[in-house]
Structure 1
């Protein structure tokens, strides 16, 4: 617990996506556990959707609800990306940018010691600086992704076309294959360029790296030391890995047999051979098209491996088109596979000894959860930073990407089946299993991860004391 005179008040302001809100919330809870005060800022509906705080942390975390202003063509109840089809997310960005005055008023009245903000709030460093409040850009993206996106301020970024993003940037001085494949960059090219008046994600990241006082990254040196060092050298400001924020082990106790959702899943997993089951999940927002779903299903069937597939059957709320499994698929795989179309306890499943591989979209949160338990990865990217994450995991031989067509991203049932068998059971895939187990020793070690947070908070406290002394 922090000493009274050393306690900090930290305001936190994530982007309006639960892939960002949740890691920010986890970091907030970890900081609060050490006795520091948090003002957690988001919209009313997003805050109401967060898990309930433990009673022990309630005195330390204050939720600040800032309503979005009415925005043309943005539904009233749309406060996070999960509430919208992808093409309407720029409207949410514009509404988010309209919170500048509300944020400025809150910071002025509450006067926190630090403000921690996301890539999307490119305007916040100037507000904070005018109020005399130092700022931290907390990136849920890896340092490697930031290095790829943002050149140093005096270095020109000559990338003008999608194909320019399929090679590593010239400002990265060491050998790497970190780059998008052409189908990956095409799927997110609107985020790289400005669309519907909203600033691009890449531009925002460049701006926040320029404007912040400190960079904090959801990462650790054991995973990407050279990228963290390079990021600090590029931007000439302190860069702190704060740990990967793995979920606490006590939250996923297998003793919780009374949980009605977990019990039948656990009973099925208990019957499977250790290390034999493929867990399939692509996050909360990634969606397969009907043709992709059909091919993926046939791939799972063709592999002959037991599987547990968490499948979103509906498209976004603006598109009522339903997708369907191939006729007879569930009957043919009955007993060997389970398709879950509702929420599933991902941590419990990944922690179970029967899991031999995780077919994932390569989102960093899901990767962390899998590596915490030493599960090797089969990678199938959709959007955002997932392509860059996949290249890094491929380089480290922790994950293997399903072979796909370079131009349209198409894949075959055979490529799915062979990828699953390679990573989970074949001798030539043992390297992936071994490397995942090595990462478990780091990501699953809460003392190692906690030390990163202690170093970060120590810097914030020292900075505050030295500034007050002046």
Structure 2
């Protein structure tokens, strides 16, 4: 024990910033309550994480484990953002090589609990052998996990889904009407997550084994937002399930308002009217195809709205498919648009008064940040759980999806322009603008967020 009822909790997230950042937010709340957190990742990722506030520096310890070298994984690639989509499987293979170093750390750590992500499906079994309790902590929403199903289905022991089409309908373990399911084009893009890949283990198997081997499940959500999906998880997992809140982003401000990049962006945003600018960003993993990038660009041009587009034109230095914009696009839109190809301070941009809408991939951290800043959502999904997130947002009138071809997912510049204008300007888009403000308290209320984490910690203390 860490002493006087204080816990020592080890956190081990998957090597994607969409996973590491919500883990870090939870670590900060746990540490603020006086518990010790060991946050385990690789050296380069730890270096790239946001700075901790000084009052937490002694309570959150970063533990660096060197990522093993594996064939086909480029030098210095330590996160999904560093490699093209088809190379992520080798990153998972390298990550599985951390089993022994993690075991050795746990043996010497005097830890009370381990919180682990979906990828290290072996971590629960390792913890159990060492007499350490474990939490399968998922940054996927309860609706996404609930749709994916019980452990036997996830591990392939009960093959109810064998082809992509099987993922486009509500499964029989969901006892209420719901549109939460993949579109055919969404599941086709990521079918390797189900079928398996070069890492030797499919993503859904990892989730299944992770749930099977843990003591309890924690999930990024709040019961007021999706109580019926949390109940589905209790039913299919037959284990305690704890929502830990939506974990809104908290950025430690160390005076970086003065940095030149943000000053330039702020000056540009300041020149535009309140609510006029559409912000476009698909986070660190979702890279559009060349054809999709063209249609997005031409759609922004046709919308006649000012835009700030954070464009991920390649995934790491080994990505040979560098996206190109339509000929003459930047010249034609120079007066009202910015295309930014490196990291941008998303929370600050969303917080600016001139931003009136957010064209997003539906990754949940981006969704939470948009709600924090009351920006209505235009949805364009690419990978992973994004399609399932988009269905929830559609159902709750919190986001509008750009119309696409059901088979191949293609869309037109006209549908991009029309969707953005609908959500930001038109009367029929008012519902999206208002709904985002309505749900804000559910997502960012500090007392509620604290209560969820208190409930989890109370259980962990008495177990």
Shared fold, TM over 0.5:
yes
2:15 is the counterpart of 1:13: no
Deviations 1:321-340 (A, max 9, x none): 43322223223223322222
Quote the Cα distance in structure 2 between the aligned partners of 1:343 and 1:99.
28
Quote the Cα distance in structure 2 between the aligned partners of 1:90 and 1:264.
38
Deviations 1:274-307 (A, max 9, x none): 2221110011122122222111111011111221
Unmatched tracts of structure 2, length 5 or more: none
Number of aligned positions between the proteins: 460
Contact 1:149 1:206 in 2 (8 A): no
Contact 1:246 1:368 in 2 (8 A): yes
2:204 is the counterpart of 1:218: no
Contact 1:377 1:423 in 2 (8 A): yes
SS at match of 1:12: strand
2:167 maps to which residue?
A: 165
Contact 1:359 1:377 in 2 (8 A): yes
Quote the Cα distance in structure 1 between the aligned partners of 2:366 and 2:48.
20
Contact 2:25 2:250 in 1 (8 A): no
1:252 CA displacement: 10
2:407 is the counterpart of 1:417: no
2:297 maps to which residue?
A: 297
Deviations 1:428-461 (A, max 9, x none): 1111111111121222322222221122112211
Deviations 1:172-219 (A, max 9, x none): 101001111111001101111112252111111111112211111111
Quote the Cα distance in structure 1 between the aligned partners of 2:254 and 2:149.
37
Counting only pairs closer than 5 Å after superposition, residues 149-160 of structure 1 correspond to structure 2 as 149-151=148-150, 153=152, 156-160=158-162
TM normalised by structure 1 equals 0.93
Change beyond 3 A, Cα 1:61–1:250: closer
Counting only pairs closer than 5 Å after superposition, residues 381-400 of structure 1 correspond to structure 2 as 381-400=381-400
Counting only pairs closer than 5 Å after superposition, residues 197-212 of structure 1 correspond to structure 2 as 197-212=199-214
SS at match of 1:206: helix
Change beyond 3 A, Cα 1:192–1:306: same
Quote the Cα distance in structure 2 between the aligned partners of 1:389 and 1:68.
31
Unmatched tracts of structure 1, length 5 or more: 464-470
SS at match of 2:55: coil
SS at match of 1:136: strand
Change beyond 3 A, Cα 1:152–1:97: closer
Bigger mean CA deviation after superposition, 218-227 or 334-343: 334-343
SS at match of 1:374: coil
Contact 1:252 1:348 in 2 (8 A): no
SS at match of 2:224: helix
1:273 maps to which residue?
A: 273
Change beyond 3 A, Cα 1:461–1:221: same
Counting only pairs closer than 5 Å after superposition, residues 38-437 of structure 1 correspond to structure 2 as 38-151=37-150, 153=152, 156-248=158-250, 251=253, 258-437=258-437
Quote the Cα distance in structure 2 between the aligned partners of 1:109 and 1:188.
39
Quote the Cα distance in structure 1 between the aligned partners of 2:446 and 2:158.
40
Deviations 1:122-169 (A, max 9, x none): 112112112111100110100111111122549934100011101111
Contact 1:137 1:208 in 2 (8 A): yes
1:31 CA displacement: 1.1
Contact 1:252 1:347 in 2 (8 A): no
Quote the Cα distance in structure 2 between the aligned partners of 1:195 and 1:257.
43
Deviations 1:334-391 (A, max 9, x none): 3322222222221111111222110001111101100111111100011011010001
Contact 1:166 1:180 in 2 (8 A): yes
Contact 2:372 2:443 in 1 (8 A): yes
Change beyond 3 A, Cα 1:226–1:333: same
Contact 2:52 2:252 in 1 (8 A): no
Contact 1:150 1:205 in 2 (8 A): no
Quote the Cα distance in structure 2 between the aligned partners of 1:184 and 1:293.
17
Contact 1:85 1:317 in 2 (8 A): no
1:33 maps to which residue?
A: 32
Contact 1:91 1:198 in 2 (8 A): no
Quote the Cα distance in structure 1 between the aligned partners of 2:151 and 2:311.
41
SS at match of 2:367: helix
CA RMSD of aligned residues (A): 2.1
